[in-house]
Structure 1
Amino acid sequence: MINSTTYDVAVIGAGSAGLQAAQTLGRMHQSTIVISNDRYRNDPTGHMHNFLGHDGAAPAELRLAARKDAEAYADVRFLDVVGAGVTRISGELGAFVLEVDGEPDVQARRVLVAAGVRDTLPDVPGIAENFGDLVAHCPFCHGHEYAGTRVGILGAAPHVAAMASMLLPVAVERVVLTHGATLDEATAAGLARTGASVVTTPVADVRKAGDGLIVTLTDGEEVALGGLFVKTAWQPSSPFAEQLGLATSEVGAIRIDALGRTSVPGVYAAGDLAQGPELPMPMASVLVAAAMGQVAASACVQDAALARIA
């Protein structure tokens, strides 16, 4: 069954990108439906940082306040779904159909995808339990919280040297845990130049101890840390890029132009799954995601306006 209402814009996702998009669209009197399954990338963390005016706030508090703002506009409707949320998108500019788990289909003239991504953590016992607090993946979000301590970096890929260099003003000591892998010459040389130490013995487990972590190596040695940075493997939390034939980047993100437009007319993207021009990867940040949501929503409005006068 297809809902008889056709919305100007269907926003998929109610994180910071989707909520800001909804507020922008509501202020411009665009009939908007926001479809959410209440799953968020930053759920594991109790506090978010590096966000103007909200440094240290709980992510859920920001979402609650942002949703209240968006709901104040009569043209915005929220559809909270238990389950998979939107399972399929088909159609074209002016006539998209969104299939929603357990709900009637939704029709929309334009679609703004802000469904986010899913992280896969390194398979080391204890990392998942401490992720978002004493284990993190972003130094801009959590680095300051480890200030004045010995900070660990798990991995042997080239990024560990850059991470160690960024943490030089923050940590009193930086230790790279290669987890049994071998560093290439350039990475090893970069780490040596920054004074970071390297431990090659594989990691057996990670556990919380007081205000910090204890990393136990497979030979029984223990390394005390104030925090540990890991690299997550991520993938889009939805199959919409494949379903709609959207252009994607080498890392699997949806490619967008400077205004959030994808390669398919009428489809826009914002947030952690969207990669702008000339960027090597998506800029994963709550504040950046919100800004992208505002820009993409503005493009929806402007494109509709231009179509009416063409």
Structure 2
Amino acid sequence: MDTNLLYWKSHGESVFSRLKIWVNLLDPSFLFTSDAEIQESNTQLRNGEKFSQKDERAWNISLSSIHADSGAVLPLVFRPPAFLPCAAPLVVGSFLPHRNVKPALVWQFLLQSYTAGFNFANRNCSSEQGKTLSPKQLLLIAGTVSYTTCAGALPQIIVNRLGIRSLFIQNFFRFFVPVPLSAALAFFNLFTVRGEECQTGIQVFDSNGNSVGISKAAAEKAVRETALSRAVLFGTTAAVPNLLASVLQRTRLFQNALVVAPIRNGLAFVVLGLMIPLSFSLYPQLGTIRKENVDKDLQAKVAEEQLFYHRGL
């Protein structure tokens, strides 16, 4: 089991402890760490015998920059500390009340492309060691981005193509429909991009950190948990600003859209920033699955009642 996973096993047992860790790991300053320092920190921790407080910076660098399965340095824009700086402007842009369909499609394409890339880069790749990206995976990612882009712009397409003039119906499609739609598309994006894991399975470990085999059941659980956490993230980020903007527009002071828009956009940024560490903390990075729930061929091989797996992010 990788050193980073051992850290999550001993330090990430509760939601609150995981939240404290993620608040530290999401510090954007870690993005300025060089690859050489990242590798040095990871090597230093691998050679250490116990978790030391003086190694806190090394742990933060390793946990925020190293993939727990491959041991490789994550691409800069797909590291957890880069998620807020990269996703925030795309989320705000996708929530804007565009006058035409084309800008809505462009912003949705950028958002869905980035989230698909982030989901893929932070997947569990324990069963893919030594394999290159297959054409099937590329096609799956391209199809996911295309579908979610069109579906995400659907409210704007409906308002424009049907020529809806009713302010009530326009507000319904611009403020209320994006809430469940954002959650559903976030769930779908992650579930399809990481769908390969459910077919090939992921590594499961015993309590000593030894690999005991590949499990498709653990993969399904890992992907489902992460997809739910992503739905909570984007669903909440859409709900709070949109619903507040809808309420404000009913008052005389905020009937002008130019007044409501900055409040809505600023609140979307704040809510996204608050929800990222919380959504990442909902489920353990080192998840557990009971022996009776894993694949039948594995049940006969293991004696322990509980096994561990890397959930991915």
**TM score, norm. by length of structure 1:** 0.26
**Which structure has the highest helix share of the two?**
2
Higher strand proportion (structure 1 or 2): 1
Provide TM-score, normalisation by structure 2.
Answer: 0.25
